[in-house]
Amino acid sequence: MKARWNFSSSLFVLILVLAHVSLASAREPRGRAPESDSSALDQRIRSIRARNPITVPFPDAITSEPSQTPRIEIYNNTGSYLMIYFRGPSPRQVRVRPGASESVVLTAGSYEVAAEVDDPSVLPFFGLHQYDREGYRLGFSIRPTPR
């Protein structure tokens, strides 16, 4: 009986540890920029602003409910990798594969938003956005410029 209790206790402890790890990773926002990269993020945004960027598409609010932690669903409708930088109350950078989507949770507030693709012939994006609703959709696409 004692061996069974030890096995049960061990199993219970293992389940608690796994649950704690799962909850901790679920709380960690996706697309989070490491703290040491905040100056690199600032430098990247300054570099994009200096390159005559096009305006970042305006995000579509999914709901009208106010939120202190809005979730932004980013859609990359391009054939290139997309890197997006958010500079504001909670700086983040997010990399999105071609044709994919990724979400990021931010602290509500005003953000400088910059984005670029891995094709150097494409102009980068830049804009100012206010995020204070529960959810947003932000889609990026590339259109050829007429000559």
**105 & 60 share domain:** yes
Span of 9-13, 15-19, 109-113 with lowest mean pLDDT:
15-19
**115 & 76 share domain:** yes
What's the whole-model pTM score? 0.72
Residue 113's pLDDT is 97
**61 & 4 share domain:** no
**54 & 112 share domain:** yes
**81 & 16 share domain:** no
Residue 127's CB: how many other CB atoms inside 10 A? 16
Q: Which domain holds residue 2?
A: 1-29
Is residue 145 domain-resident? Answer: no
pLDDT in tens, 76-112: 999 999 999 999 999 999 999 999 999 999 999 999 9
**At 75, which helix (H) or strand (E)?**
strand 71-76
Residue 26's CB: how many other CB atoms inside 10 A? 7
Is residue 102 domain-resident? Answer: yes
Is residue 44 domain-resident? Answer: yes
